[in-house]
Amino acid sequence: MNLPLEGKRAVVTGAGRGIGRAVALALAHAGCDLAITARTVADLESLALELEGVGRRCVVLACDVTDPDAVNAMSEGVLGQLGGVDVLVNNAGKGESHPIKGHPDELWHRMIAVNLTSVYYVTKAFVPAMQTGGGGRIINIASTAARIGEKYVAAYTAAKHGVLGLTRSLAAELVGSGITVNAVCPGFVDTPMTDASVANIAQKTGMSIEQARERLASGNPQKRLIWPDEVAAMVVYLASDAASGINGQGINIDGGAVMS
């Protein structure tokens, strides 16, 4: 069996569902031992069983990635149990919308915290161990919102633009340590987060759930939502030796909606 990441140790934040869950499973099938985190352990229990069923070691830790103390405690737990980290996937995130008129300040701060500042906290916590270990891969799950602007999601878009900027800066800074840093920028993905967006559109416009879902899918030239496994496959590739020369990139997975 071809295991391109055999013996590697990976951390996935926001691993309980959606993209994070798909990424964790794909990394396990590629040979990684895993540390998976989310706000609550309950979201991770069934995933842990699946990872162990693949024959991989799995460390489960609850962590609010917007809390630097919680992140530091989590990273200490991961390093203590896995002994090091070769692949870090910053996946935790959340999307909320509101017109700029009357935009709540707390919404702005929440979106920046969970989508951008968390990437900074988690990366800062693990980079020293990666440098000591001789290198690794940092893969940030961004969005096509990191590349273009969409109405009603100013805070989310600003945060994801920040993730791409942080990715590029860290790629330049860490390359000498044998660490590559890249971002994956999917369009709308068939996940619970997108389901929430669909429900919100339906509520505000009077569309049916099916119509709202088609509206989001229509932004993709292939007229569909992206599958979580497509994002996960790109993460596995970026974590592999085959991608050693890819650094500082934002890779779109959107059916060609954004060509850059």
152 is catalytic: no
> Domain ranges in the chain?
9-187+226-252
Sort residue 32 into left (φ over 0), alpha (ψ -120 to 50) or beta.
beta
For the segment 46-85, what is each residue's pLDDT rounded down to a tens digit? 999 999 999 999 999 999 999 999 999 999 999 999 999 9
Identity of residue 46? S
Rounded Cα distance between 219 and 110, Å, is 26
Helix, strand, or coil here: 1?
coil
User: pLDDT tens digit string along 153-210?
Assistant: 999 999 999 999 999 999 999 999 999 999 999 999 988 888 888 888 888 888 889 8
Catalytic residue among 120, 121, 156, 237: 156
Could you give the 3-state DSSP secondary structure of residue 41? helix
pTM (2 decimals)?
Answer: 0.95
CATH number among 3.40.50.720, 1.10.760.10, 3.40.50.970, 3.30.565.10, domain 9-187+226-252? 3.40.50.720
Q: How far apart, in Å, are the Cα atoms of 226 and each of 141, 162, 190, 216, 255? A: 14, 23, 6, 11, 8
How far is the C-alpha of 69 from the C-alpha of 52, rounded, in Å?
Answer: 28
